[in-house]
Amino acid sequence: QMFILSLSFVLLTSIVLLLVAWCKRTYTFWQRHNIPYVKPLPIIGTLKDVLTMKKNVGVHINEIYNDPVFAKEPVVGIYMLHQPALLIRDPELIKSMFVKNFQNFHDRYATVDVSVDPFGALNMFLCKYGTWNKMRPKFSPTFTSGKLKQTFPLMVKVAQNLEKFLVKKGNKFVLEVRELCGLYTTDQISTIAFGIQAHSFDNFNNTANMFSLQNQCNIKERPTYKIVVMLLLPRLAKLFRAELFTKKYQNFLRTSLNNIIEERKRSGVIRNDLIDTLIKLRQEAEGTIEESEKQTYDDTLLAQANVFYLAGYETSLSFLSYTLYLLAKHPKVQKRLREEIKCCLENENGHVTYESLQNIPYMDMVMQESLRLYPVVSFLEREHNCDDPVLGKFSLKPHHDFDLPGGMPIFVSTLGMHNDPKYWDNPEVFDPERFAPGKPIPSAYMPYGAGPHNCIGGRLAKLQSKLGFIHILKNFEMRSCSKTVEDLRVSSNTISLVCEDDIHLEFVKDVLWEQ
């Protein structure tokens, strides 16, 4: 018995000593390479506040960026559990990684296993380079100026429905604008992507709204920890069955989209939208795809339409809501913007044309400044690739004598860079004049990402936002009210900068144009 106890003690001591040695070796990685770093905790690294759901991922990375200790540092070492990673703080270094040396960083670090969630794994937001390189050229034409111009009349109808909904409310009322912007975004995405007239402002039970309802259910039913694993601990993604789309949502989307596609084919209607693109790509693949690969190829196509809704919905409604909030808080800016809208309407006899939206510079300035303060993508991430011997490893020279090992994740805090006094005077102030025509825009500004992996739908997002602002502000002045929150909080369990608070604003009728 004594022998067994002694042996158990020796084994336990050995395990403890090995664990201590492993921790010491693992968590001194950046110290050994003379790179400034955030002091980690054993096992969890620098992720304590994220893993405990106390902070949004983007906010957490932003706080590391803003630590005064690292104010002059181009890079900061962090740890994703035991995995060393880098936070990049220098704009030129970011440009080098995301643009010039794109082939070294062509994959996102975030991962979803294809066997768990094929729609999550195969969409352009998360898929690996081999899939991304095939899909991006196929879907990019859907978002060109020419294609958007063809769908513009449909987008105008949605904006007009928004206008009618507000006019019916009366001369003075209070609305929660996140809900309002959610209805508008639902209608726009349903129309542009799926060719469905949603009429969200009139009817909450039709097919198109089912996309919105199922999307919201998907977000609520998907545990937050799975998103954290997907984004920051991707090597554990399969183990924890991390997913963007729950099984229930996957089945709904696959059935619904296939039904929409078949109905479009039967009708013969050409709308130049995402559904037409899916039909065209399916037809092109007939006879060229092996039978065993057809399901994967089809899921890859459908994944692009699905992520368009998932990613576009929350980011668009958040941007619209934050901007309306800022305008209500800054009446002088709002007054100037409404004057520009009035001139635009007078020049076009009350109509809103695709061409006129290209010539409203102050609205562009307001939108850019809103995206600076509240970027729809609060952080960027990539994984270093050095498999190609021609490319080799990416070096941090001249900043540090360090070559990145293969698989190392890098992060960029767009939220931090957008609010850094090094690049912006009084960054906490909402000032659209920063983006006046002719003024140089700092390279630290990257609201839609950077490099070839930037947001494919950025042009579309701007267009639908402009239409929304015009059809709200042409009839109403936005004001703060007793229910308006003074300081907005960011939700801790979302990917993007989703507002934790309801945003209540007062709408006061002040018509700029009447037919």
* Contact indicator for 196, 222 with CB cutoff of 8 Å: no
* Contact indicator for 189, 510 with CB cutoff of 8 Å: no
> How far, in Å, CA of 451 to CA of 443, rounded?
12
| C-alpha atoms less than 13 angstroms from C-alpha of 56 in its C-beta half-sphere | 19
* Contact indicator for 27, 42 with CB cutoff of 8 Å: yes
CB neighbourhood size of 139 (10 A):
19
> How far, in Å, CA of 172 to CA of 138, rounded?
47
Structure tokens at 299: 């899921």
Q: Which residues are annotated as a binding site?
A: 455
* Contact indicator for 368, 380 with CB cutoff of 8 Å: no
Question: Which residues, 6+ apart, have CB-to-CB distance to 262 below 8 Å?
Answer: none
* Contact indicator for 318, 468 with CB cutoff of 8 Å: no
Question: Which residues, 6+ apart, have CB-to-CB distance to 199 below 8 Å?
Answer: 161, 187, 206, 208
Torsion-angle region of 354 (φ positive above 0: left; ψ -120 to 50: alpha; else: beta): alpha
Instruction: Give the containing element (helix H, strand E) for 305.
Output: helix 294-329
Of 315, 316, 284, 281, the C-alpha closest to 142 is 281
- Bridge partners (DSSP) listed for residue 55: none
> How far, in Å, CA of 416 to CA of 372, rounded?
10
Torsion-angle region of 398 (φ positive above 0: left; ψ -120 to 50: alpha; else: beta): alpha
Q: Which residues are annotated as a binding site for heme?
A: 455
**SS3 label, residue 36:** coil
Structure tokens at 304: 């692009």
**SS3 label, residue 86:** strand
Which alpha helices (DSSP H) does 389-514 contain, by range? 414-418, 458-473
Peptide bond into 361 cis (omega under 30): no
- Bridge partners (DSSP) listed for residue 175: 505
CB neighbourhood size of 81 (10 A):
19
Of 40, 81, 42, 43, the C-alpha closest to 64 is 40
> How far, in Å, CA of 83 to CA of 27, rounded?
9
71 backbone dihedrals φ, ψ, rounded to 5°: -55, -35
> C-alpha 30: how far from its chain's center?
30
User: Amino acid identity of 102?
Assistant: F
User: Amino acid identity of 500?
Assistant: E
> If you ran DSSP here, which 8-state letter would residue 231 be given?
H
